[in-house]
Amino acid sequence: MSDRHHPTAMELGQFASGELDDVLAIMVSVHLGQCRRCHGRVELLQQHQADQLAELSPDAAYGNDELARMLNLLEDAPALEPRVPEPTQMEFQGRRIDLPAALAGLVERAGPWSRVVNRLWNAPIQDHRRAYQLNFIYMEPGGSIAAHTHKGREWTLVLDGHFSDDAGDYAPGDLVHCTEANEHSPRSEQGCLCLAVIDAPLHFTSGLARALNPFSQLFFKTGG
């Protein structure tokens, strides 16, 4: 993983407090599994939140009845054996790619792979009930995405392989943010699997892909 491509401070704070939506929380969780710096920051945030809660009296934090109910549930709960989640896999053209266990649910909901253009494939994920488009993207060796800007926000989590654009090089665990201010043309020399989120259609800026711009809203499929 490179040294520059991390969740924002706001996203880390929302993750620590449980306020980040489930899909983005999964993306941040995968990043945390590979980034000690961000993992440490989240631990500090969660400790700070726990300290704040500890400063409250039980009656202030919870009502008496609710506190009693919670304590009873804890006393009655069976002891659980700790379980280390196993990694999941995604298959592409006969190749099995190991992925973090946090992605298992998204892998199960992914549709079939389809070719977008030469050397570029996607597998859409539906039923995530969010107002954005969510896809697994695979660039074959030598593949690229036409130059484009963004009508909204884009998050790209690198899962396997590497890709690059004019702004830098990206490796597994990198979480890349783009907004309306960014124009880029991602490309991969050796192949790359990513999980990508966009909350508005792309706007292509070069080549034949510009002909798709009038129809971009038709291709933009949200999860609910």
Q: What pLDDT digit, counting tens, does each position of 84-130 carry?
A: 567 799 998 889 999 999 999 999 999 999 999 889 999 999 888 88
Selection from 2-6, 129-133, 175-179 with the highest mean pLDDT: 175-179
Same domain, yes or no: 60 and 139: no
Mean pLDDT confidence for 122-151 = 92
Residue 49, Cβ neighbours under 10 Å: how many? Answer: 14
Selection from 56-65, 180-189, 208-217 with the highest mean pLDDT: 180-189
User: Residue 1 falls within a domain, yes or no?
Assistant: no
Same domain, yes or no: 92 and 142: yes
Same domain, yes or no: 131 and 188: yes
Of 51, 76, 101, which residue constitutes the final position of a domain?
A: 76
Q: Domain residues for 110?
A: 88-219
Same domain, yes or no: 34 and 97: no
User: Residue 3 falls within a domain, yes or no?
Assistant: no
Give the number of C-alpha atoms closer than 13 A to the C-alpha of residue 43, restricted to the C-beta side: 8
Of 76, 111, 135, which residue constitutes the final position of a domain?
A: 76
**Distance (Å) of CA 99 to CA 64, 142, 190:** 44, 23, 18
Same domain, yes or no: 51 and 107: no
Domain count, the chain: 2
The continuous run of DSSP H or E covering 165 comes out as strand 163-165
Q: Which of 46-50, 67-71, 128-132, 187-191 has the lowest mean pLDDT?
A: 67-71
> d(Cα 171, Cα 56) in Å, to the nearest integer?
43
**Distance (Å) of CA 3 to CA 51, 72, 166, 172:** 30, 46, 16, 12
